[in-house]
Structure 1
Amino acid sequence: MPRLWLVERSYDDRNLISFVYATTDGTKQLRKELSATLLQQRSDPITAAIDIDDEDELAAVDPDNQEQYATEAQSVAADYEPDEPI
């Protein structure tokens, strides 16, 4: 079961917030999009890491972003507990 760490959070003009979680080697990612309204209504917080049961859910990271994602994932892993809100 791979563990992925939050490496990117972005907002768009459609009121969606995108969260990108990546492996510490920067090669695999999972992107989640939530509406800002739904995010405010959630009882569970966005955490520093998530564990994925099905590796088929993961997408390859663009080679141009792999180093950045690896660096960010390693930094978050060093600074936060996996279940810590971020």
Structure 2
Amino acid sequence: MADSTDDTVRVWLVERTYSDDEQNIVILVYATPDGERYLRKERALTSFGDHRDTTAGIDADPRNLGETDEKREQYAAEAKRMAAKHDPDDLI
């Protein structure tokens, strides 16, 4: 797979949402360019001034990736768009 090493896989930001049932939780979903695997990260925002950078792409441990089902095509399209438009370290 392109943009990966033996230990990591490059995944791209495909979704950012706020949790409906928990306050101050941001859910970030990163996916592989083929949309078949994804990584979900949750961030708790501790205050209004809490600012943490979100990058277009990250390198993830393949053991932490789940398999995508019904969102595979959506994740693939968005991951490819992000990879074409941004460098991994670009702030989103």
Considering the TM-score relative to the shorter chain, is it more than 0.5? yes
Q: Indicate the structure whose relative CO is greater, using CA pairs within 8 Å and at least 6 residues apart.
A: 1
For residue 41 of structure 1, report the CA deviation from its aligned partner.
Answer: 4.5
Distance in 2 (alpha carbons) for counterparts of 1:5 and 1:41: 20
- Tell me the residue number matched to 1:78: 84
Aligned position for 1:50:
58
Following superposition of structure 1 onto structure 2, how do residues 16-27 of structure 1 map, counting pairs within 5 Å?
16-27=25-36
Corresponding position: 1:5 with 2:15: no
CA-atom RMSD in angstroms: 1.6
Residue in structure 2 matched with residue 32 of structure 1 by the alignment: 41
Shift of 1:55: 1.0
Aligned identity (percent) is 48
Task: From the CA coordinates, give the structure whose radius of gyration is larger.
Answer: 2
Aligned length: 82
Structure 1 unaligned blocks of 5 or more: none
Over 6 Å off, 4+ runs: none
